[in-house]
Homo-oligomer: A and B are copies of this chain.
Amino acid sequence: MSIAPSHFQTIVPTDQLTESVDVDTFKAAFRMHPAGVAVITTDSGDRPAAMTVSSLASVSTEPPMVIFSLSRMSGAAAAFLESDNVVIHLPGAAQLWLAQMAAAPGVDRFADPTQWTRLPTGEPVFPDTYAWLRGRIVSRLEAGNSVICVAHIVQASVPDAETLVNDQSAPLVYHARTWHQLGTGSKI
């Protein structure tokens, strides 16, 4: 493990934090905060792993980088701490089944061999997802009971404009423990 001190700054170590907001109030605020979701896959060597996250964000274009966080409580977390190579799927409403499956505790995400395959580089992929990006985790940062991962994106499968127009897969949003899809009716 190499450290790049100039690129990382700790102001307050976690074990020196004092007063926190009430946890129920904190949870209530974020329950009502809408989010897109992503299904991230990896294979740490023995078998594929997948998890649904609502924390994916693009943070840089040059170089192209994203962040996502993984809870240590997630059964899939260990695989993402051991393996750096990931595929980040962006499901549309037509792939709600995938987002739900990869969020469900104890469910084998790879039980149906018709739903997934492997990229030439080895990572597990659900190819019917609206879009996916292949990347490599370049740094990890602990934050409470989660680990924040920064990934460099090296490949992507994104539908072209014509495909988008005909696409039946509306954008998928998670909010207040419910799923929503965006469309002309939701536009402001």
For the complex formed, measure the closest distance between the CB of A88 and the CB atoms of chain B, giving whole angstroms.
9
Contact with B along A1-42 (1 / 0, CB 8 A): 111110111111110010111110111111011111010000
- Report Cα–Cα, A59/B143, bound state, in Å: 7
Which residues of A57-95 are within 8 A (CB) of B?
A: 57-65, 67, 69, 84, 90, 93
Known: A8-B8, A12-B152, A140-B8. A61 touches B23 (CB 8 A): yes
- Is A60 a contact of B185 with CB atoms below 8 Å? no
A118 at the interface (CB under 8 A from B): no
A184 → chain B closest CB, angstroms = 10
Task: Tell me which of B14, B26, B29, B96 contacts A7 (CB under 8 A).
Answer: B14
Question: A103 at interface (Cβ–Cβ under 8 A)?
Answer: no
In the bound complex, do residue A188 and residue B182 qualify as a contact, i.e. CB atoms below 8 Å apart?
Answer: no
A179 near B171: Cβ-Cβ < 8 Å: no
Residue of B2, B54, B93, B143 touching A150 (CB-CB under 8 A): B143
Q: Is A180 at the interface (CB under 8 A from chain B)?
A: yes
Interface residues on A, range: 35 or more
**A104 interface hit (Cβ, 8 Å):** no
Give chain A interface residues in 160-188, CB to chain B under 8 Å. Answer: 164, 171-173, 175-176, 178-183, 185-188
The distance from the CB of A182 to the nearest CB of chain B, in whole angstroms, is: 5
Is the pair A56, B33 in contact by a Cβ cutoff of 8 Å?
yes
> Do A138 and B171 contact each other (CB < 8 Å), given the known contacts A26-B64, A93-B188, A152-B17?
no
Q: Could you jot down 25 A-B contacts, CB within 8 Å?
A: A1-B5, A4-B13, A11-B139, A12-B136, A12-B139, A14-B63, A20-B153, A21-B154, A26-B64, A29-B156, A35-B35, A35-B36, A54-B57, A55-B59, A57-B69, A59-B143, A59-B144, A59-B148, A60-B144, A61-B144, A141-B150, A171-B175, A172-B188, A180-B188, A185-B185
